[in-house]
Amino acid sequence: MAVILAGTITSGCGNDLHAEGERAVQAYCDAVIIAYRTSDASAVLPVSTEREWRKIFTLIDVKQADGLVLESVLESLTVTSVEQSKPGFMTVAASERWRYFDRPIELGRPPTPELLVDMELVYSFVDEDGVWKMDQATTRRHDYIEPKG
């Protein structure tokens, strides 16, 4: 599966900062997919703060209590801006397309309907020991493509 990465620089150190922002968002999204698919929130520890890790842990716990596993695919990612207002903090705006559904753990139960969603998010990253860690994400837009809604 190919993920599209593109965008513009709004401030900071030009292409280097933009590339850092792209890598940070992609690493976070990849880790989240693995965490949900395996029901193991520790997959996001290398790329998220403890605050964000606790949110993911909670959602996984809720899904497990319902006998479900979240299956997701990031179909496209376009980084639209990367800003670094001060050292150690980076804000990345991105447009994303996700396809996801809940897979039942119990055999014989059907999965939930598959959803295709276009989203615009703003990610806040902090530098912890030379690693950009996602601290908070704000959803700016969330549009269901399939099913229509």
What are 15-66's pLDDT values in tens digits? Answer: 899 999 999 999 999 999 999 999 999 999 999 999 999 999 999 999 999 9
Predicted pLDDT at 60: 98
Number of H helices, E strands in the chain: 2, 4
Structure tokens at 34: 């693995």
Residues 63-98: pLDDT tens digits?
A: 999 999 999 999 999 999 999 989 999 999 999 999
Q: How many residues in total does the chain contain? A: 149
Kindly report the pTM of this predicted structure: 0.88
Q: 87 and 121 in contact (C-beta within 8 Å)?
A: no
Query: What span, in angstroms and rounded, lies between the C-alpha atoms of 140 and 60?
Result: 23
Question: Can you tell me the distance from the alpha carbon of 111 to that of 5, in angstroms, rounded to the nearest whole number?
Answer: 30
Sign for the pseudo-dihedral over CA of 31, 33, 34, 38: positive
pLDDT of 3 reads 39
